[in-house]
Structure 1
Amino acid sequence: MTAIEETTAVAYTAEPGTSVHDHIREHRDKLRTVLGERGAILLRGFEVGGVDGFDAVVRGFSGSAPLTYAERSSPRSTIKGQVYTSTDYPADEEIFLHNENSYQAVWPNTLYFYCIEPALTQGATPLADIREVRRAIDPEVREEFVRRGGWQVVRNFHADFGVPWQEAFNTTDRDAVVEYCRTKGITAAWRSDGGLRTTAIRPVVHTHPGSGEEVWFNHATFWHVTSLAPEVQEGLREIFDDEDLPTNTYYGDGGRIPDETVAHLRAAYRSATTRFDWQRDDILIVDNMLAAHGREPFTGPRKIAVAMAEVYDPAA
């Protein structure tokens, strides 16, 4: 076992021909312990068996089937079953660090990434220890969020723009959407253009279910309009008023988060960020409540498969 230079993940490098499934069966307890300490594990050089083998890794390591991608926020394509492509954004765009589904009432606790085809240049999945992110944030900034009720996300699903509500909620039934939102602490309002506006208020800090540590687990930075590339921000604001943006974040009481506060939060994530270059058949396992992930811009045919497992409900 060796740690790859400049990354949070602990790397396990296999002898040629070693089955990843055999390795997980033999070392699962140790691997899970390391995952809970470090937040990410990289399995490199193993025989995987393609997408079917990747699906089997999820089942073997988590002891359950991959989860369906629900309450979607980004475009993905299904590869097979509950194995998806990573976010289908243009190759020249960065995807900022975030914790998967931290805007939801429940979320997957374990994430899996599988390198089918690496990029020619860049294309890493950077990681950031969100315990370190929390420590890097000015205590007054953290306390302001807590004092004002956490953070709020407003999503506007516009007809003919972005991810449609039908895809986000995996249904065409409006009543089913409203019922889903009611059970998940989301306020849903239908727009006059046939779209949907949802509002949810969530905590900024959660307690890790294994270690009991406090972690900065939220989408407040990722979904704030100023975290978009400047040209994307300008384009969206030419089309929409701020209250109608596809996504934007606020304090829990609905107040505006100052741009300089969000810039400070972005700097805290970047200060904790590490990276590695993908190699074909790499498998990255991430504790979603210990490590945030993102995506570098890239050139070439990069194809990374993604799966999620072990749903976590803090209310339970």
Structure 2
Amino acid sequence: MTADTLAFVLEREAGSPGIVELIGKEAGHIRERLHAHGAVLLRGFGIGGVDGFAEVVRALSGEPLKYTERSSPRSTIKGNVYTSTDYPQDEEIFLHTENSYQSSWPRLLYFHCVQEPETLGATPLADIREIHRLIDPAVRAEFERRGWMVVRNFHDGFGVDWRQVFNTEDRAEVEANCRAKDLEFEWTADGGLRTRGVRRAVHLHPDTGEQVWFNHIALFHHTTLAAEVQEGLLELFSEEDLPSNTYYGDGGSIPAEVMDHLRACYRAASTRFDWRHDDVLVVDNMLAAHGREPFTGPRRIAVAMAEPYAPAGEPK
């Protein structure tokens, strides 16, 4: 680990075993490094394409998970291995924790560098224990008292369709899925769907017991978008009809200065590294947030998720 990266780097040495064999021998050590650093970068190994990447996931975590209740467009590469978010390459994806707007989420995330970008294109990381520490205690206390709400609007013909999100065209199945995941729902007049979910902002890491800032408050708030994107969306939709937005758990608006503070804390905790071909990055989703820099060139990162977790026993 270097001072400017969050991930613990495990680089192949001459004569060392292949990556799957190494994981079989060093799984306990890799888990320890994940708990300490939040992420482990496996570098210098021949991965063997998408099939080899899936075997890496299985070696440490078992079968990769299907991407459900999705919030961003991804393409399936093969099985449950996906492209990273299909998003314009000149725009940033702000730091976030995967699926933290849901009632359950993957514990581990896997990223595989199939093709390096020409410039930038890093997957920055931020320790969400450190973010929790950096946030003003009064701001944290307000979210712990009120919770946070995510509102999502799925408009026919715009953005990610509800049929893609819930992997079905059956409205009754969507409604049952929403009830199971503690989501309020309503079908809108234009044939779309609105959902609301109230979640906790601060969680306990299930292995270390540490408090972590685990939520989608910053990423989903409309003010985190680039100014021109915000303006374009607000020309098309009222604030309540935006594709996604966040509020306090009672529906109250989050003040602009609070959102500015939260984003500043993410950035203060952020670190980066440059991708190399065949890198595999393993991220503890409840210890490290991830994002994406803008980039040039044909960057291609494969993604898989594993080890589902639901915090039923966690104290309110």
The interval holding the TM-score normalised by the smaller chain is over 0.9
For residues 183 and 230 of structure 2, the distance between their equivalents in structure 1, rounded to whole angstroms, comes to 26
The AA in structure 2 aligned to 1:97 is: L
SS of 1:76's partner is coil
CA–CA separation in structure 1 for the residues paired with 2:184 and 2:14: 53
CA contact (8 A) 1:13 1:44 kept: yes
Q: Contact between 1:16 and 1:45, CA under 8 Å: does it hold in 2?
A: no
Check if 1:236 corresponds to 2:233.
Answer: yes
Corresponding residue number in structure 2 for 1:109 = 107
Q: Corresponding residue for 2:200?
A: 203
* SS of equivalent to 1:25: helix
1:137-184 Cα shifts (integer Å, max 9, x gaps): 000101111222x10010000010000000000000000000000011
* Alignment pair present for 1:92 and 2:97: no
Query: Is 2:249 the partner of 1:252?
Result: yes
Name the SS of the counterpart of 2:209 in structure 1: coil
Please name the residue that 1:32 is paired with: 31
1:143-182 alignment runs, 5 A limit? 143-148=141-146, 150-182=147-179
Match of 1:224 in 2: 221
Quick one: distance in 2 between partners of 1:259 and 1:308? 33
Residue pair 1:15, 1:46 contacting (<8 A) in 2 also: no
Aligned partner of 1:279 in structure 2 is: 276
After the TM superposition, which residues 133-148 of structure 1 pair with which residues of structure 2 at under 5 Å, given as runs?
A: 133-148=131-146
* 4+ aligned runs moved over 2 Å, structure 1: 15-18
1:76 corresponding residue in structure 2: 74
Q: How well do the aligned residues superpose, as a CA RMSD in angstroms?
A: 0.9
**What corresponds to 1:120 in structure 2?**
118
Cα contact 1:137–1:268 (8 A) shared by 2: yes
1:59 and 1:299 mapped to 2: Cα distance? Answer: 32
Shift of 1:259: 1.0
TM-score (norm 1): 0.97
Q: 2 CA distance for matches of 1:9 and 1:79?
A: 26
Partner of 1:309: 306
Letter paired with 1:61: L
Give 1:5 deviation, angstroms.
Answer: 4.6
| Deviating more after overlay: 19-28 vs 264-273 | 19-28
1:267 aligns with 2:264: yes
SS at match of 1:47: coil
Rounded Cα–Cα distance in structure 1 between residues aligned with 2:2 and 2:140: 32
Amino acid aligned to 1:9? A
Question: 2 CA distance for matches of 1:91 and 1:5?
Answer: 28
The 8 Å contact of residues 9 and 40 in structure 1, kept in 2 or not, is answered as yes
Partner of 1:10: 8
Query: Matched residues, percent identical?
Result: 62
Residue by residue over 1:278-302, the C-alpha shift from the partner in whole angstroms, topping out at 9 and shown as x without a partner, is 0000000000000000000000000
CA deviation digits over 1:202-230, x for unaligned, max 9?
00000000000010000011100000000
State the secondary structure of the residue aligned to 2:263.
helix
Whether the aligned pair in 2 keeps the contact of 1:55 and 1:83 (CA below 8 Å) is: yes
- Residues 1:213 and 2:213 aligned together: no
Q: Kindly tell me the number of residue pairs found equivalent between the two proteins.
A: 312
For residues 96-155 of structure 1, what are the alpha-carbon distances to aligned partners after superposition, in whole Å with 9 as ceiling and x for unaligned?
Answer: 00000000000000000000001000000000000000000000101111222x100100
Q: 1:222 is paired with a residue of what secondary structure?
A: helix
Query: Partner of 2:182 in structure 1?
Result: 185
Give 1:79's aligned amino acid.
I
Length-normalised TM-score, structure 2: 0.97
